[in-house]
Amino acid sequence: MKFLTLEVENYPVNWNDVDPVILEEEARCIFDLQQSDLIRQIYFRSDTKSAVIEWESDSIDRVAQALAAFPLVQANLIRFEIIPLMPYAGFKRLLR
């Protein structure tokens, strides 16, 4: 199954003040998940600079578990909205 996650800051964060060690740990965590094919793609939104991550997983619980391990989530700086996706099936209904 595919999932989309949207990052939300828990409060306004000055990213220049965040410990660079935490940011490096965050990057390593995300890199490892991408290398394991759990994270398929990652983007920044151009309007907010928050992360949008595409996941491939057998369950929403696995995605939630992976997100809970993010150092920035553990530091209570950010959280994620998890959106389960399914293939669009409307063409069959619309184009008879």
Q: How many domains does the chain have?
A: 1
Q: What is the mean pLDDT of residues 65-91?
A: 95
**Residue 92 binned pLDDT confidence (cut-offs 50, 70, 90):** confident
φ, ψ of residue 3 in degrees (nearest 5)? -135, 150
CA atoms within 13 A on the CB side of 12: 0
pLDDT at position 89: 84
Does the pTM surpass 0.95? The reply is no
The CATH number linked to 27 is 3.30.70.1060
**Residue 36 binned pLDDT confidence (cut-offs 50, 70, 90):** very high
Asked if pLDDT for residue 96 goes beyond 80, the answer is no
Helices (H) and strands (E) in the chain, counts: 4, 4
Q: What is the mean pLDDT of residues 68-78?
A: 97
Range of the domain at 75: 2-94
* CB-neighbour burial class of residue 35 (10 A; exposed 0-12, middle 13-18, buried 19+): exposed
Average per-residue pLDDT in the chain? 95
Residue 22 identity (one-letter amino acid): I
